[in-house]
Structures are given as structure tokens and as C-alpha cells.
Amino acid sequence: MREERWHRRHRVAVDVVIAVFFVLLDTGATLAGATWWPDHPGPLAEVLLGVQALACGSLVLRRRAPLTVVAVLGAFTLAVTLLISPAHALTPARPGNVWAPYATALAATGPLFYGTSRRTAFVALTGFTLIVARVWQPTATIITIGLLRTVSGPLLGLYLDARRRLVLALTERAERAEREHHLLAEQARDEERARLAGEMHDVVTHRVSLMVLQAGALQMTARDEATRRATEELRAAGCQALDELRDLVGILRTAPEEDTTPSADGFTTLIAESAAVGIPTELVEEGDRSLASPVVGRTAYRIVREALTNVRKHAPGARVTVRVEYEEAQLRVTIHNTPPTGRPSSALVETGSGLGIVNLRQRIELVHGTLRAGPAPDGGFCLAATLPAYVPTAESAV
């Protein structure tokens, strides 16, 4: 079962780490004289160093507000450039350096990769490049480095975006081919079922019809009453067998009925039923239900139903929390109940077969899921299942 990677589940933490890294990198590089730091720094330089750290820290928003990050870093770079020339309020130790922070390279990736409008992104990046490259003070080195710093990020963003689209298209094509495969397999099973039913009907009815006809002929030629009575019973039994065979063949030629077990939409009903019998039950759902395919939703429904049934039998008075987490790659179902406040009824406990969890585990393994069931640290009981979000079936291809 494919599990979502850590950096995708903790994107905010990753962005914070990246922002802190660039704050430290640009602060160290500036103090080392790699950008605009003067030989004799004064209060203005120290204030600008702090403002630069805040500007680099805006990388935390590079996914949610990429244009804002570009605007902040571009405004800082432009302010430093104007303070150096023509204001002459700041004199860098190395005038030939690029005065933009290194964070501009990553910021330039955002508008194309996380933005919504491609045209707006190109306009913003054009202005950003002009500021970083200082085209009004043209030197070959600064313009080249500035272009590389602001163009390499967007090119990487375009490549990653094209790769993501290609992977999504290939994944969709593979899933569609798999659904078509299941449809063809189901069609082949239906055709084979109909063929076998027809052959059985032809072969068996032929022989039984001969038996009925021979019994009828024997009845007509029999001289004693006992023989005629026996042949009549044989003929009637044969006719009944033909009728039953006709019904059986009709059933075989009919496709099996669909599974009518409710899917994820039935969780609310289960919670209401549990609360109606005096068990406080809370349902917590996170994510989009549509991420779970039908067979996975029905399996999750059975898990919740079995868990609530066990709580009613074995943990009277307990409080139950049902948590369902829908993700792109998997579905997590957790049912936790607090310790019981009363003693379970022996008559109610004996009504079960004791194989509920075992059968549930087998059903979960059929869809390549996992199940954990056992006592909880608070003295209650916890049942947790992890299922793949998508299981291809003929139903999911409809």
C-alpha cells in the first residue's frame, strides 16, 4: 500500500525549515561581503540586515502567496539598490556583487508552480528579473548572474509542473485501463456463466425429457396398477425436475446482485443508532469522502459497524469516538472507546460468534489494508484500520 510521503503531509513545517535556512544563508553571505554589506556598517546597514531577514522569512508563504513573496524580496532588493545608487546612503564593500538575496532564486519558482495565472506570473517575474539584474546599471557579470538566479527557478518550476501533469495523466490512464480490464473480466464471467447455463440446460433437459417420455410410454403399456402408479410418479418427478432446472438456469443467467452495504455516507446513521441506544458516540471526519472508492467505503462502514457492535456488547456506558481521515493515497479509520462504566450482559455477549474481528481482518486484507485492535492506554479499546483509498473494481469503472 502506497503511503503519502512525509514532506507532503507536513508542508508548513518544510516551508518553515526552508525559510530559516535562507535567512541564515543570506545573513551569513551578507556579513561575509558576498552581497551589499559595507566595509564600515552603520545603523542603516544593521536595519537593512534585519529587514532582509524578514524578507527572506517570507518564503514561508511561497506556496500560499507566491506573488507576495516575489513582491517583498523585489521591493527589498530595489530599496537596497536605490540606497546605494543614486542615494549613496550605503556603500557596499564590493560594488560588483549582485545585491539581491539568494532567497530570490527560490522565490522566483513560486508564481509559476503555485500561482493561478500564468500571464500574471510572467509579468511579475519579468519585473523581478529587471530589479535583480539591475538593468539600469548594465554589466555583463551582474546581468548574467541575475538572469541565472531568476530564470533557473521558473524553468525548474515549469519542468516540475510538466512532470506532475504527465504523472497525473499516466496515472489516470493506468487506472482507466485497469477499470476497463475489470469490466472485460466481468463481461467474460457473465458470458461464461450464460454459456455454462445453456449447456447444462441442453444436456440435462435432454436426458430428463427422455426419462419423462419413457415413463409416459411405460405408463401407457403397463398392465398392472402398481406399475402405472410408479411410472406416473416417475413422470411427475421428471416434470418437476425440469421446472426447477428452468428456474435454476434463469438464476445462473442473471448477473449477481450488487453489494447493498452502505458506504461512507452511512457513518452518520451508524452514529445515530449507537447514540439512540444510550452510547455517546462522536464522528470526526477529515478530508473529502470522494477520495475513497466504493469498495473501500463499504469496508470502512463494516469496520465502524463491527466496532460499535462490540462496544454495545462488551463496554456498556463507554464513550466512543469514530475518526475517519480521507487522504489521496489511503483511508484511516479509528474507533476508540473509553473504559466501560457498567458490567456487560452475559446474554448479549453470548449472541456473537467471537469471529467478528477475525472476519473483519480477512476482509481488510482482501483490499490490501491493515488492522490493529487492542487495549488503549486509558483502559479502553482502540480499533484502527488503514485502507488504500482506491481499489479497482467493476463498480468503480461505472
Task: Specify which residues 321 forms β-bridges with.
Answer: 282, 336
- Residue 6's pLDDT band (boundaries 50, 70, 90)? low
Name residues whose C-beta falls within 8 Å of residue 106's C-beta, 6 or more positions apart in sequence.
18, 22, 59, 62, 153
97 pLDDT higher than 60: yes
What distance in Å separates the CA atoms of residue 226 and residue 216, rounded to the nearest whole number? Answer: 14
pLDDT score for 250: 63
Q: What's the pLDDT tens digit per position in 342-374?
A: 887 665 555 555 567 777 888 888 778 899 998
| pTM of the predicted structure, to 2 decimals | 0.46
Name which residue leads in pLDDT, 130 or 346: 130
Q: What's the pLDDT tens digit per position in 156-171?
A: 777 877 888 898 888 8
Set of cell numbers at residue 51: 529587514
- Residue 224's pLDDT band (boundaries 50, 70, 90)? confident
Name residues whose C-beta falls within 8 Å of residue 298's C-beta, 6 or more positions apart in sequence.
259, 261, 262, 263
pLDDT score for 338: 93
Q: What's the pLDDT tens digit per position in 232-289?
A: 888 777 777 777 766 666 656 554 555 566 777 888 888 888 888 788 999 999 988 8
pLDDT score for 203: 64
pLDDT score for 121: 86
Q: What's the pLDDT tens digit per position in 44-84?
A: 999 999 999 999 999 999 888 999 999 999 999 999 999 98
pLDDT score for 261: 66
CATH number given to 264-397: 3.30.565.10
Range from 115-124, 149-158, 252-261 carrying the lowest mean pLDDT: 252-261
The domain ranges of the chain are 6-138, 183-252, 264-397
